[in-house]
Chains A and B, each alone.
Chain A
Amino acid sequence: MKILVAEDDSVTRELLRALLVGWGYDVVTTNDGRIALDIIATADGPTLALLDWMMPTMDGAAVCRAVRALDGPYRYLILITSKNLKSEVVEGLDAGADDYLTKPVILPELQARLRAARRILDLQTELLVTQERLRVEATHDALTGLWNRRALVDSLERETARARRDQRPVSVLLGDLDRFKNINDTFGHGGGDAVLKDVSRKLLTSVRPYDMVARYGGEELAVMLPDSDAASAAIVAERIRQRVRCEPVQLDGCQIPVTISVGMATCAEGCCSVDALIKRADEALYAAKRKGRDRVERGADPGCPTLAPPSGRSAVGDPRQQSQ
């Protein structure tokens, strides 16, 4: 664990440094309060600090106050002082210190206070890990690891607002695996899950890093394409469709042919609501299914530029693929 020792007296500083190194700490030292604050504020700075009360440029109490105003992880601060007046202890704790030690430092006391610090910091880490796990669980699909529907809708709300402000387009693709029930019936639910995971990976690797891929429903996947007009979105949709069709899913030595139907909609200049955008993509998806599957269809989008189909593939699916 990284720990900062900020102490202007070189004897006490070296004593603490040597002891802490001997106890397995990764020790950083300084003799200056302002430098101590800079060290704590760095991205991978120590989360545990021993701060002398009286230091040049900034005293320990001022460092505590400044640290408490910082963002980032919780830092456990122990003030070291030869001041033993209760009023000064109260002042130090009020300034944001978690604990205090009086000089000269007594080893068992120092060790006990460091153990207390680690308990708090470990608890803090555990809380943050749990918080992050819950955040991921609340926003991601457990099977595919993709964003979930709620997260997609939340992001679309933000993205359409931004698109409206910047007068930029935003597009949505809704994809549905064709005849997925047949896959489940033939290969079991494990096979179905494997197909979903494989296709999800293909979608993720077919879009830009800042596009958002989500599992919208059972076998329905969605992609949000910020700053993409209908023509750009159609190219992405067609790339996904082709890739899914041309790369069968490998499962236990079997090749599972999969196709996907895609409905797309574009909100030019952020001029529509999220509900309307999704509804149009859904209608387009329905049209793609109705017209034979394994194809891309664009939803009604009054006022948006006319879709130019990508070269080599029209908006009408290849009938040979429809049988898959």
Chain B
Amino acid sequence: MGGKLQVHAASINLEELFNRVDNDQALLVTLIRLYRDDAPHMLDAIDRACQDRDGDALLRAAHTMKGATAVFATAPAVACAQAMEQAAHDLDWPRAVALQDAVRAEIASLMDNLAALSAQCAP
């Protein structure tokens, strides 16, 4: 089912993604909508935690971002979120701040790709 879809991003492993949702396109569309709704809030939480130097809040936000992102079988965005989680764990604020833009860029790119994928899945 996933093989018929075209997504112009090598970052999403479609086969893995469709396996993950048991080849249920309607479920995939729902998950993409949830992710696109939640991701901006998660990014805001990461920014806020960096600004406040709140290690616990950054750890929670980065962890949640990583978990949600990993559902979509996308290695680069997950790696970025994981790096942010590690920075929070280490309380490495220079690294966390340096990662903020990269995380935003990866998540934005992923959301675009997911929007395109959702459009193809929608009836």
Contact = CB atoms under 8 A, between A and B. Distances in A.
B53 interface: no
Main secondary structure on B side of the interface with A: helix
A98 interface: no
Interface in B17-69: 19-22, 24, 27, 30-31, 34-35, 37-38, 60, 63-64, 66-68
A43 interface: no
A107 B71 CA distance: 12
B70 interface: yes
Interface residues of B, number: 21
Interface stretch (A14-22, A69-77, A226-234): A14-22
Interface string B84-100: 00000000000000000
B63 A12 contact: no
A12 B68 contact: yes
B34 A10 contact: yes
B31 A103 contact: no
B11 to A, nearest CB: 15
A77 to B, nearest CB: 19
Interface residues of A, number: 19
Nearest to B26: A18
Contacts of A15: 20-21, 27, 31, 71
B70 A104 contact: yes
B83 interface: no
A104 B71 contact: yes
B24 A11 contact: no
B68 A10 contact: yes
Given A10-B38, A11-B38, A54-B63, A104 B27 contact: no
Nearest to A13: B34
B73 interface: yes
A82 B63 contact: yes
Given A15-B20, A15-B27, A18-B27, A103 B70 contact: yes
A15 B19 CA distance: 12
A8 B64 CA distance: 8
Nearest to A10: B34
A15 B24 CA distance: 10
Contacts of A122: none
A9 interface: yes
Q: Indicate the member of B20, B38, B66, B68 with the most A CB atoms within 10 Å.
A: B68
Contact of A9 (B19, B37, B67, B73): B67
Contacts of A12: 67-68, 71
A153 to B, nearest CB: 60
Contacts of A104: 20, 67, 70-71, 73
Contacts of B66: 82
A14 B38 CA distance: 13
A107 B67 contact: no
B68 A11 contact: yes
B35 to A, nearest CB: 5
A54 B35 CA distance: 18
10 contacts: A9-B38, A9-B68, A10-B34, A10-B68, A11-B35, A14-B27, A18-B24, A104-B70, A104-B71, A106-B20
Interface of A: 8-12, 14-15, 18-19, 22, 52, 54, 56, 82, 103-107
Given A22-B24, A82-B63, 17 more contacts: A8-B64, A9-B38, A10-B34, A10-B68, A11-B35, A11-B68, A12-B67, A14-B27, A14-B30, A15-B20, A15-B21, A15-B31, A22-B22, A82-B67, A82-B70, A104-B73, A106-B19
